[in-house]
Chains A and B, each alone.
Chain A
């Protein structure tokens, strides 16, 4: 009734004859007929089979090696030592030997892995200040309250970077050595830069503005390093000044919190410029020596060194190929059952004709 009365003719109140108003819009109305459902199932089964096989072959040729060094080799000592907080400042070095059975060809990536470390706890994840790490001057010295209790130290000096995430940064470092069958041992050269996402390195994490006269250290003046850190944030990398501060690659990698308690994070990429490593990582004996700093005993965690190849499909992960193969099989079984039912019970559609 609220509508305007268009005209006053005898049919002025007659509704419009539009397809929309009369609910006669042209439409595609698919329905579940045997002619569509059964072929779909068979085809999907084939597609999944094909994908599964292809992925399986790919993954079979992707090698991965995990070296658990939590208390292996000579690290037993360091493990014990890190149990107690008093020894935090004493350094501990240890090494673990391992054997690479097959040559890792192409690019080889070195990861550190942690088990049972919950980076995904809500309060832990919230305990960071992205505004501070984007290098805003105001926020640098006024960390967000989310960082508490890692926002200010006991003297009220702001912590940079603040929060539980940064505070708990993984601080073991590795030196990997290769023992060729002939000749002397060779240190495996690693790139320690370029291991973070481009967007993280260039957008998400920025240092406070500096220039020729105003150094990074000056920029961070008035802040203090996180409680558990040995070095301040502007001195994280001795070798490369540009890798210091919030844009330090290791820090960025750590700050990208893992979704699950068992995770691995990129440590370095094999430098294939020279020596025996031009084709990748040759098979043979290796050892890794570790600056063992990160305590895992309290939370019953484990630490490992992971060496891996990647393909177009990423690292070694058997889940997807197997899942596709299983799915393919299930769909095939379903398709057969459906066909049988269609023929026997549904009587090829006769059941539908009353």
Chain B
């Protein structure tokens, strides 16, 4: 392929001594840059090429960190310093598998490091998942962050006032916050223009964060939760009964400072039974102990989502892991919504030339990489 010929050509004219370590790092996110940094510091004269399929570096720091979290992106200063090293190059628009194969990289370099992340998504595996209006949270995040793959996502934010986010981690909170923050506040961030325009016309007023388990098992962390609870003119809805702790919950919280503080924050934010909401008021609902059962198709819009059916759960201890897992109770309820974001985890994409565990969606064998 043209790229490997170009790289060999370059190498034959370089003045690098033949003994120096030549490394190719595939993926220019934090893992890739920290690896490059360590290699350059540990090996005198090492040459490191960081490649990425995108024209721009930094992986999730650029495409995953929310636009209203600029301080989390400050770390790119460190990465830029690494790339300024004369022995380090960033080469964009190089896609492993299509621009160049793993076999070719292994011929050109002494070592190849795969740090290309996990760009696919866990599926729920329930009926209706293919309906329009249902997205992976990752796609929504890439859309508002201007990732080229999702610039044409065009989520419909005008046909309904209700969005449901499945999952209760920090990514779910990010998506909720971007949907609910006043757009005047978003306008001063580096949010993508197409997203800012769409959010400016959005009719979404209610966001439901739905989790299978309870507040003691929620995966988000304090800083992000605190931030979403402070959004201007936003009513927070949490049911008191969801906050009661079982002995198993107490045990889980006892040894976990993060979860204890989360539970305290949620308890403080829980609204009393009668809360007054003015029409048009924005609402964020924390829905616990509900498992999505199926998505419901609209009667008037073919192939489009209109709502979802959820099953109430209780927690039981899983004998093998000792963890509390959600078990269905056979009690169902339906709710309307026009937008669903699935924030239930990610999956790796296989690479030609490496064994892949399709069940766990992971590269199966790592030790063969540094074998040359």
Q: Do A and B bind each other?
A: no
Interface residues of A (CB under 8 A from B): none
